[in-house]
A = this chain, B = another copy of it.
Amino acid sequence: MAEQPELTIQGWGPPPAGSSTDAAGDRAPALEAVLPKAARRHLARELGWTPRSTPPVPVAEIRLAPSRLPDPARAALAGLLGEENVRTDRESRLLRAGGKSYLDLLRRRAGDATDAPDAVVLPGTTEETAALLALCSEHDVVVVPFGGGTSVVGGLAGVDPDDRPAVALDLRRMASVQELDVPSSMVTVGPGMRGPALEEALGREGLTFGHLPQSWEFATLGGYAATRSSGQASTGVGRFDDLVTGLTLATPSGVLEVGGAAPASAAGPDLLGLALGSEGTLGVITELTLRVRPKPATSSYEGWSFRTWAGGLAALQRLARHDLLPDVVRLSDVDETRANLLMSGSAGARVLRGTLRARRRGEGCLLVVGWEGLPDMVRARVRAASALLREGGGVRLGRAVGESWRRHRFGAPYTRDTLLDAGLLVETLETAASWAALPTVYDAVRRALRESLTGGGRRPLVMTHLSHGYPTGASLYFTVLADRDEELPIQQWLGAKRAATDALLTAGGTLTHHHAVGADHRPWLEREVGTLGVEVLRAVKTRLDPKGICNPGVLLPD
Contact = CB atoms under 8 A, between A and B. Distances in A.
B317 A268 contact: no
Nearest to A555: B268
Interface string A415-437: 00000000000000001111111
A274 B509 contact: no
A538 to B, nearest CB: 8
B468 A433 contact: no
Contacts of A535: 253, 543
A515 B228 CA distance: 28
Contacts of A262: 431-434, 473, 508-510, 513
Contacts of A253: 532, 535
Contacts of A230: 264, 266
A529 interface: yes
Given A322-B374, A373-B323, A271 B533 contact: yes
B261 A513 contact: no
Interface stretch (A190-198, A375-383, A492-500): A375-383
B510 A472 contact: no
Contacts of A255: 532
Interface in A173-203: 181, 183-186
Contacts of A183: 317, 434-436
Contact of A376 (B261, B268, B383): B383
Interface string A301-331: 0000000000000000100111110000000
Copies of this chain in its oligomeric complex: 2
A472 B185 contact: yes
B432 A471 contact: no
B269 A511 contact: no
A545 to B, nearest CB: 11
A264 B513 contact: yes
A58 to B, nearest CB: 36
A379 to B, nearest CB: 8
Given A184-B434, A257-B530, A323-B373, A269 B263 contact: no
Contact of A251 (B254, B521, B532): B532
Interface in A521-550: 521, 525, 528-533, 535-540, 542-544
Interface string A500-522: 00000000111111111100010
Nearest to A256: B532
A123 interface: no
B277 A508 contact: no
A451 interface: no
Nearest to A527: B267
Given A274-B274, A323-B293, A432 B265 contact: yes
Nearest to A528: B267
A173 B349 CA distance: 59
B380 A468 contact: no
A227 interface: yes
Nearest to A534: B268
Contact of A377 (B380, B517, B542): B380
Most buried by B among A185, A265, A381: A265
A328 to B, nearest CB: 16
A324 B376 CA distance: 11
Nearest to A430: B266
5 contacts: A263-B434, A264-B475, A266-B512, A268-B537, A269-B537
Given A256-B536, A267-B529, A270-B273, 12 more contacts: A230-B264, A256-B530, A261-B508, A262-B513, A264-B475, A265-B512, A269-B277, A269-B540, A294-B322, A376-B383, A376-B384, A535-B543
